[in-house]
Amino acid sequence: MAQKRPTLLVLDIGDADIVLAPITTTKRTAPGDYELRDWLSETGLLKKSWVRLAKVSCLEKRAIVDNAPSHHRWYRHAQYANAH
């Protein structure tokens, strides 16, 4: 069973797929890794986090668990452990 992971919504053009970038609490400094500022107030994440834009994935929307607060429309939990 794939685990749910926090992600950043990169692109949704209204079809069956969605493009997401993973979010991690492990400090990352590689090209394409960016620290999320104001992560607690702006994202609802529980720890300091980094988004990994060099690791984007295109997934079917049905794989997305949308339990993000309504004011965080860019944030999703994705079950994408086996999709790359």
- Mean pLDDT over 31-56 rounds to 85
- Mean pLDDT over 28-38 rounds to 91
Q: What is the mean pLDDT of the chain?
A: 78
Q: What's the pLDDT score for residue 19?
A: 92
Tell me which of 74 and 20 has the higher pLDDT. 20
pLDDT band at 7 (very low <50, low <70, confident <90, very high): confident
> What's this model's pTM, rounded to 2 decimal places?
0.75
Within the chain, residue ranges assigned H as helices are 39-43
> 4-79 is classed in which CATH architecture?
Roll (2.30)
